[in-house]
Structure 1
Amino acid sequence: MTTLLPPDFADWLRLREPADAAARSAELVDAVRHRLPAHRPVVVHDLGSGTGSMARWLAPRLPGPQHWVLHERDADLRALAAAELVHMAADGSPVTVETCGSDITRLRAADLADAHLVTASALLDMLTAEEIEQIVAACAGHPTLFAISVLGRVEFSPADPLDARLAAAFNAHQRRTVNGRALLGPDAVDATVAAFRRREVGVLVRASPWRLGPDQAALTAEWLVGWLDAAVAERPELAGAVGAYRDRRLAEAAAGRLRVVLHHADLLAG
């Protein structure tokens, strides 16, 4: 998978990290604990790790010594992850971390042979059907926790007549073809569940929505601008109406009057 990350992408990951942490399913973390071996270091492979937010969130919620392998192609993001390592598990046991410049869409089962758990966060919607098949085939022998995958549903309060049209345009943009890659966007969760079940691997799916209100006004504004830019890129005919909509929504966010529920799902396989 070849990507060109914008220069402010790391800032976006940092801004969204608290919302991701609040949204991820605690129920699935409880289920993960029962799937991990006792009395030995647990090896966790995190796919598309970015700045390492999944390790920072999950490692302190799991007991026992852990070793995390962070798979991230972008060298700058790997450097940021290495600079902010987590060092302690839930019971005070040590946590060690290494970074790896893997192309996760080319992973094989052998690459994850030592894994007791495979994780990812905010990844699936950026993949194609073929890439998900590849990743699922590599993960199928291990418990696998994929968190914060978009579902294509967003709720605004107060509502606006343009909300539905913009959401449809954004979802179409998420399903666009980039360099020959047909992204799944909001269809990725269903495709991933189906891929595991074809391999007779059971899957639990739980909701993990962002709930953005006055305390998340900065994140709401940043997300909204990106959401609108993507919608207009997909449906240029919306550009004339979006300017006033953007100004109105940003003013509502700044005044603490805008609330957004952005629906995601977490899934645990194996």
Structure 2
Amino acid sequence: MTVEETLPFADWLRLREPADGAARDEELLNVVRSRLTGEHPTVIHDLGSGTGSMCRWLAPRLPGPQHWVLYDRDADLLARAAEGMAGVTAADGAPVTVSTRCGDLTRLSAADLADGSLVTASALLDMLTGEEIERVVAACVGRPTLFSLSVTGRVRVTPTDPLDAEVEAAFNDHQRRTVDGRRLLGPDAVAATAAAFARRGVGVRERSSPWRLGPEQADLAAEWFRGWLGAACEQRPDLAGPAQAYARRRLADAAAGRLTVLVEHRDLLAGG
């Protein structure tokens, strides 16, 4: 596989799932757990569910019967998510059920989430615009909301390379690009989300949730690198020439177990 070739999206989600689970902040999880006693059925709305990584991680860590409502605009991913929840139970062995809703999650209203005990999302905020975040936050107010694994734009790759900083800057510009008239927030999304909750009088806790990828995660590190560099070159085509040798060095390091990567994320708990 060359630097230009990346995995199909569903396969990428599957590959990153263990790293996502290891990165999510346990302190915020403990706060959520303390709010959900398990005395009543818990309804959890998961936004941008993809293949269901968030619910597979969180459901077994929460007590009591749960019903998860999974939202995504991709019906195939939602079907995979529902299938992947088969056999999952709560921390105390209580049943966990799932339903799916296909559509634009940025158009949800407070009424759509009114029965929720908790709202969750993972790796979502940085793909939204400022206006979309305002709408999502407005819909979530009134119940604890846990948004995990939003990129901050900060990356540390070891061993270092002279091109690292330039690629990082180009990637972050790509994250903030305009797509079909939508200006994405990328690394600015966590701050925008926290500010949107604060304007509505909702307290927010933030914690760091970095990926720490070493030789044991070489496949994920290499796939992440391809996507990272590819986005940077799309944003700045003048990087394409230098990127070829850079990619060969980095992928050789990954294959040899010499590459380590720290990708910084933030987790955010509002109203908890």
TM over 0.5: yes
How many Å apart are 1:240 and its aligned residue?
Answer: 1.0
In the TM superposition, 1:181-260 aligns within 5 A as: 181-260=182-261
Unaligned runs of 5+ in 2: 1-5
1:148 equivalenced with 2:153 (yes/no): no
SS of residue matched to 1:187: helix
Unaligned runs of 5+ in 1: 1-5
1:83 equivalenced with 2:64 (yes/no): no
Residue identity opposite 2:94 in structure 1: S
Look up the match of 1:74.
Answer: 74
Q: Deviations over 1:166-220 (max 9, x none)?
A: 0000000000000000000000000000000000100000000000000000001
Residue identity opposite 2:52 in structure 1: G
- Aligned-pair Cα RMSD in Å: 1.1
Q: Is the 8 A contact 2:74 2:102 kept in 1?
A: yes
How many Å apart are 1:102 and its aligned residue?
Answer: 2.9
CA distance in 2 between partners of 1:48 and 1:190 (Å): 19
How many Å apart are 1:37 and its aligned residue?
Answer: 4.9
Q: Is the 8 A contact 1:154 1:260 kept in 2?
A: yes
Look up the match of 2:21.
Answer: 21
CA distance in 2 between partners of 1:159 and 1:217 (Å): 17
CA distance in 2 between partners of 1:169 and 1:191 (Å): 21
Residue identity opposite 2:103 in structure 1: S
Structure 1 consecutive aligned stretches of length 4 or more whose deviation exceeds 4 Å? none
Q: Is the 8 A contact 2:36 2:63 kept in 1?
A: no
1:158 equivalenced with 2:195 (yes/no): no
Residue identity opposite 1:127 in structure 2: L
Q: Deviations over 1:108-142 (max 9, x none)?
A: 00000000000000000000000000000000111
Give the TM-score, by structure 2 length.
0.96
How many Å apart are 1:103 and its aligned residue?
Answer: 1.1
SS of residue matched to 1:64: coil
Look up the match of 2:3.
Answer: none
- Aligned positions, number: 265
Look up the match of 1:3.
Answer: none
Look up the match of 1:61.
Answer: 61
Give the TM-score, by structure 1 length.
0.96
Sequence identity (%): 69
How many Å apart are 1:61 and its aligned residue?
Answer: 0.4
SS of residue matched to 1:112: coil
CA distance in 2 between partners of 1:7 and 1:156 (Å): 21
CA distance in 1 between partners of 2:16 and 2:115 (Å): 30
